[in-house]
Amino acid sequence: MNTYNLIIFPFIFFFLNTSPHFSVSENSILDKEGFHKIYFIKQNWHTAIVFNAGELNSDLFREFNSFSQFSLIDIGWGDEEFYQYPRFDSGLAFKALFYPTPSTLRVEGINLTKEDYFDLSEIVIELEVSDEQFKKICNYINKTFYINDAGETSILNKKAGGKIIFYKSNGSYHLFNNCNTWLARGLRESGIEIEDNILLTEQLFNELARIGVIIKSDQAED
């Protein structure tokens, strides 16, 4: 590791990868008519929202038809280069944080069970939302897609045989507008009370733990 990486890596690691310590709840949210369960996950350097695909359709999620065959749909927002890069790169991470950069919306179709897929994450929090809140969150995600003059989304890249699609998205990514702030803003726009000025992963998941149920945490408290 060169001198540049030795200097910048600790800061980037703290910003992108800090995680709170949680006690996993023994209670799950019971299914209730008119409500939906959504999930927030932390996997490596990224945070995302996960939907049960059976609760979505093309009216709620504009790219649903590309993922309708899957059981879960994982959606995250991030820096266009860093998010697509196959491994951690400190140079790309530094650029993403300290310079406004183009963004991408990453959508992945999952055919694992929730239990098996969530086992791949360090943290998973389950949140119950009303039908109205659910629709507003979906609308927020739809507004994140960049739409061209023909009224279509713009695909940047496909991976894993089309299971993962990176779309061009609205907004610039930087230190004060990152994947955590994107998720927090979506919750606020849906009418869910969540702390303002969220930047760090730890801040986001502390807030989610306050309003949701912790179902997985590799940083679980004793």
- Tell me the pLDDT tens digit for each residue of 30-81: 566 789 999 999 998 789 999 999 999 999 999 999 999 999 999 999 999 8
26 inside domain: no
Name the domain count of the chain: 1
120 inside domain: yes
pLDDT in tens, 105-155: 999 999 999 999 999 999 999 999 999 999 999 999 999 999 999 999 999
Quick count: other Cβ atoms within 10 Å of Cβ 154?
12
30 inside domain: no
Structure tokens at 94: 């530094």
147 inside domain: yes
130 inside domain: yes
pLDDT in tens, 27-43: 555 566 789 999 999 99
15 inside domain: no
- Structure pTM? 0.86
Helix (H) or strand (E) holding 88, with range, is none
202 inside domain: yes
What is the residue range of 51's domain?
A: 35-217
- Find all residues with CB under 8 Å of 103, minimum gap 6, and list them: 77, 78, 79, 80, 169, 170, 171, 172, 173
At residue 74, the pLDDT reads: 98
| Distance (Å, whole) CA 105 – CA 114 | 22
117 inside domain: yes
